[in-house]
Amino acid sequence: MSGELSPIDKAKFVAAKRAAELVEDGMRVGLGTGSTAAWLVRCLGEMVREDGLKITGVPTSARTAELAREVGIEVITLDEARWLDLTIDGADEFDGDLNLIKGGGGALLQEKIVATASDQMVVIADKAKEVEMLGAFPLPIEVIPFGWQTSQALVEETLISMDVMGRSSTLRMNGASPYVTDEGNHILDLHLNRIGNPRQLALVLNQIPGVVENGLFIDICDTVVIGYGDGKVEVRDINEGTIETDRIDFVETDNLFADLGE
């Protein structure tokens, strides 16, 4: 990959690049999944290869594990790490309380386990992911394959009983077959439009038999690094609000691929 980045990729890149600066020698770092998290992994790989940064990474999916190894990051399992200093991951939506919808890339289960096992979770996102109310992005929930249609019916019944506006759900597909997560499960995408009480919904969904986890991340994220297409980055902290705005240069992106032969 080379050449000019699109504005959205520039926004993702600058958010990732700024967040990579938070990673220090010796840290155990949770590595998210998705296109923004992939930029982060490439930036960290460059820091490992060129600056001698010493970290171990706990990936949140098989594809992130593959990329991390490819760029030179030492990969360990969560059970080996036990507890992490920091997790950096993307998101599909974030609101003013830094609550999130995640799972657009299908990795929500490992992502939630890894983020929750971290001292700090930093989300990297382009500005378009910011919303006043969560829910325009379909909310992914991971369900076990056994009886998934029964689980789907129970989920829809629950949404009706909670007076949630949108109640339809769709099984995520991969071509002609149901999408299968790294854990061997399926994903239902809930089309809700607006989630009035995400905290309550997150708790209730996880009570339904067959539901393994939902993509609402409540009180997990500490900081969001927001990237803009013109290179601006904004760092927003849950306790302190906006703590920094800065600008990042794009010139360096080719280096992220040069050593990898892409």
Ligand X SMILES: O=C(CO)[C@H](O)[C@H](O)COP(=O)(O)O
* Catalytic sites, residue numbers: 111
Do residues 110 and 60 lie in contact, with contact meaning Cβ atoms separated by under 8 Å? yes
Q: Is 18 in the site for ligand X (CB under 6 A)?
A: no
Residue 104 binds to ligand X (criterion: CB under 6 A): yes
DSSP label at residue 181: -
Closer CB to ligand X, 57 or 106, in the complex: 106
Site for ligand X contains 106 (CB under 6 A): yes
Q: Which helix (H) or strand (E) holds 150?
A: helix 148-161
103 is in an annotated binding site: yes
102 binds ligand X (CB under 6 A): yes
Distance CA 43, CA 18 (A): 10
Tell the smallest beta-carbon distance from residue 56 to ligand X (Å): 21
Q: Which is nearer to ligand X, 20 or 108 (CB)?
A: 108
Q: Distance between CA 253 and CA 17 in Å, rounded?
A: 10
CB of 32 to ligand X, least distance (A): 5
Question: Does residue 210 interact with ligand X by CB under 6 A?
Answer: no
List 17, 33, 139, 211, residue binding ligand X (CB under 6 A): 33
**Burial annotation 65-80 (CB, 10 A radius, 16+ → b, else e):** bebbeebbbebeebee
Taking CB under 6 A as the binding criterion, the range among 88-96, 155-163, 169-177, 237-245 that sits at the site for ligand X is 88-96
Beta bridge partners, 170, equal 189
Task: Assess 255 for contact with ligand X (CB under 6 A).
Answer: no
The residues, ordered by sequence, that sit 6+ positions from 252 with a Cβ below 8 Å of its Cβ are 17
Q: Report how far residue 120's alpha carbon sits from residue 221's, in angstroms, rounded to the nearest whole number.
A: 7
Is residue 229 involved in binding ligand X (CB under 6 A)? no
Query: Is there binding between residue 8 and ligand X (CB under 6 A)?
Result: no
Binding site residues, as ranges? 33-36, 89-92, 102-105, 129
Tell me the binding residues for substrate: 33-36, 89-92, 102-105, 129
